[in-house]
Amino acid sequence: MRPEKVGFIGLGNMGGRMTACLVRAGGEVLGYDVDPDAAQRSGATPVASVGEVVDACDVVLMSLPDSHVVESVVLGDDGALWHASEGQVIVDLSTSSPESTKRIFSLLAEKGADYLDAGISGGAAAADSGTLTLMVGGRGEALEKARPALEVFSSNIYHMGEPGAGHTTKLLNNFLNAVSLAATAEVMLAGKKAGLDLAMLLEVFNKSSGVNFATLNRFPKIITGDYLKGGLSNSLMMKDVALYTELVSRLGVASLNASGPLACFGLAKALGYADQISNTVVDAIGDISGGVRLHERKDP
């Protein structure tokens, strides 16, 4: 189905890719980003402010770095809240705090507008190909209104329940992602130092109980020097793990496994990999393990 005119706020690494999918599908997209050239790169029609996007579109999508930025865009001076209207749907595709999400939902509901929290998974490659997975919280009626736009860049959309449920699901998923990536990085470096054939080692893992997303999809590329540019940075991965620890603390669940990824992605930030794709955590661990690399060094 061809999407109607939609607004998109935040046209960066992921938002720009999702916007490009909408444009390729024949949709009209009004785009706003702090980078004035971002809209043109993604094919959107540029507008000058958040308010202008919200005034013009019944469905508005946002892809932003964290809850602090989301709150400034929605609740700040001339933010989306002040322009929201009856029947409008605003969809947060960021990885945000569920508590912040619930607050924004309530404030927009007072104006008759809906707020959906729609965590995404799949990374840059899935955004490019329109095969992302979405986990959505909020009213089902609002999801149906936004669905024609969301289906353009998503192959799986799950309605997880009430406001905040989508972002809660995303934090749980991202924590598992962080654990498997950090642990696999450590194991692969050990395999390298032990003199094992890394391609064969991965083949064994992927036919055995150690298989995970990182062994299947990340490290077959990393061992050749391809770090799969465009994915979540080490800083953002660290942010997501921190949000996870806040979540489970509120839920009263003991977090016995968070120290590993917090240490690994914190190390990557400290060693200068903060803004690089989180796959480079393997180089950060390699740095303090004797300068080990899984491949002959290329620019990641």
Summarize pLDDT for 187-239 with one digit per residue, the tens: 999 999 999 999 999 999 999 999 999 999 999 999 999 999 878 999 999 99
Q: Is the pLDDT of residue 37 over 90?
A: yes
Per the DSSP assignment, residues forming a β-bridge with 32 are 9
Pairing mode, strands 114-121 and 132-137:
antiparallel
Give the pLDDT mean for 259-273: 97
157 C-beta neighbours (distance < 10 Å), count: 16
Specify the pLDDT at position 27: 87
- How are the residues of the chain apportioned to helix, strand and coil, as percentages rounded to the nearest 5? 55, 15, 35
The confidence band for 1, taking pLDDT boundaries of 50, 70 and 90, is very low
| 71, 126: one domain | yes
Tell me how far apart the alpha carbons of residues 232 and 251 are, in angstroms, rounded to a whole number.
Answer: 26
What is the set of active-site residues?
Answer: 170
Encoded amino acid at 143, one letter? L
| 15, 76: one domain | yes
Number of domains the chain is built from = 2
First to last CA, the chain: 38
| 206, 131: one domain | no
Specify the pLDDT at position 3: 58
DSSP SS3 for 228: coil
Q: Is the pLDDT of residue 300 over 70?
A: no
Please indicate, yes or no, if residue 14 is contained in any of the structural domains.
yes
Tokens 């669940």 -> residue: 253
Order of strands across the sheet with 132-137? 45-46, 29-32, 6-9, 59-62, 89-92, 114-121, 132-137, 154-161
**Of the residues 111, 144, 162, the one at which a domain ends:** 162
CATH code where residue 143 lies: 3.40.50.720
The confidence band for 123, taking pLDDT boundaries of 50, 70 and 90, is confident
| 148, 219: one domain | no
Return the structure tokens found at 47: 């507008």
| pLDDT more than 70, % of the chain | 98
**Of the residues 113, 138, 162, the one at which a domain ends:** 162
Q: Helix (H) and strand (E) counts for the chain? A: 14, 8
Q: In which domain, by residue range, is 253 found?
A: 168-287
Please indicate, yes or no, if residue 300 is contained in any of the structural domains.
no
| Cα-only R_g, the chain | 20
User: Tell me, what DSSP letter sits at residue 278?
Assistant: G
Specify the pLDDT at position 124: 86
**Of the residues 142, 162, 182, the one at which a domain ends:** 162
User: Average pLDDT, whole number, for the chain?
Assistant: 95
Specify the pLDDT at position 206: 98
Q: Is the pLDDT of residue 297 over 50?
A: yes
Tell me how far apart the alpha carbons of residues 68 and 99 are, in angstroms, rounded to a whole number.
Answer: 12
Number of residues in the chain = 300
Specify the pLDDT at position 75: 96
| 109, 186: one domain | no
| 136, 272: one domain | no
Give the pLDDT mean for 60-88: 95
Q: Is the pLDDT of residue 34 over 90?
A: yes
The confidence band for 184, taking pLDDT boundaries of 50, 70 and 90, is very high
Tell me how far apart the alpha carbons of residues 9 and 92 are, in angstroms, rounded to a whole number.
Answer: 10
| 78, 16: one domain | yes
23 C-beta neighbours (distance < 10 Å), count: 19
Backbone angles phi, psi at 203, to 5 degrees: -60, -40
| 223, 156: one domain | no
| pTM, two decimal places | 0.93
Q: Is the pLDDT of residue 271 over 60?
A: yes
- How far is CA 56 from each of CA 6, 8, 26, 47, 290, rounded to the nearest angstrom? 8, 11, 18, 10, 56
